Amino acid sequence: MHSDASDRVYVHSHGLCESDRVGAGTRVWAFAHIMAGAIVGRDCNICDHAYVEGGVTIGDRVTIKNSVLLFDGVTIEDDVFVGPAVVFTNDLRPRTAIKRSTDELLPTVVRAGASLGAGVVVVCGLTIGPCAFVGAGAVITRDVPAHGFVVGNPGRLIGWACECGKRLGDKLICECGHAYEEAADGLVKIR
């Protein structure tokens, strides 16, 4: 049978992949650690020093940059970019003396096509909408709508992002050709 690198999972000699649910074409780089039980899709890039806990689900074509921390209850959908040193949380009020069961942890979802800049912190129990863009260093404390453009601590919605990553002007038309209109939970693409 024909087989090439894209049919297989690549794990660097110094990477640690304990999950058997990692899709073909995904690369796991040095000192990244994927725990048993984690689900990782196809053609992902899990960069150096990333940590993926067993209760995490990652879609296809996702980039998890260096030193990202993904804890139980986090779901990352397809085509998401997670910048270096992004930290997810899952316990809203941690106490070292109180061990929470998995169902007490608050799940977080990052919808398809979203990007999180370097050093973002995501407080748990939130949804970051499809194609949202979160600027470097933001602390996300509320849900982010579809195509929402958020910066700062606490993260504030300061505008809208195109699928291509550019910030949209008031007319919601991008120079790349896409156009949008406002809907109940963010923007929808009309062109």
| Minimum distance from residue 188 beta carbon to Zn ion (Å) | 15
Do residues 10 and 22 lie in contact, with contact meaning Cβ atoms separated by under 8 Å? no
CA distance 148 to 114: 9
Do residues 19 and 39 lie in contact, with contact meaning Cβ atoms separated by under 8 Å? yes
Q: Considering only residues 167, 175, 176, 182, which one is a binding residue for ligand COA as defined by CB under 6 A?
A: 167
Kindly state the number of chain residues that form the binding site for ligand COA, as judged by CB under 6 A: 9
Q: State yes or no: residue 136 binds ligand COA (CB under 6 A).
A: yes
Q: State yes or no: residue 83 binds ligand COA (CB under 6 A).
A: yes
3-state secondary structure of 86: coil
Q: Which does 83 bind (CB under 5 to 8 A by kind): ligand COA, Zn ion, none?
A: ligand COA
Burial class (CB in 10 A: 0-12, 13-18, 19+), 140: buried
CA distance 63 to 77: 11
Tell me which residue of 13, 3, 64, 67 sits closest to 38, measured CA to CA: 64
**How much of the chain is helix, strand and coil, in % rounded to 5?**
5, 35, 65
**Residues in region 146-175 near Zn ion by CB under 5 A:** 162, 164, 166, 174
**Residues in region 15-34 near ligand COA by CB under 6 A:** none
**Which residue, 102 or 153, is less far from ligand COA as judged by CB?**
153
Q: Which does 8 bind (CB under 5 to 8 A by kind): ligand COA, Zn ion, none?
A: none
Q: State yes or no: residue 157 binds ligand COA (CB under 6 A).
A: no
CA distance 62 to 45: 6
Q: Considering only residues 152, 181, 182, 190, which one is a binding residue for ligand COA as defined by CB under 6 A?
A: 152
Q: State yes or no: residue 154 binds ligand COA (CB under 6 A).
A: no
**Which residue, 59 or 83, is less far from ligand COA as judged by CB?**
83
Residue ranges that bind ligand COA, judged by CB under 6 A: 83, 117-118, 135-137, 151-152, 167
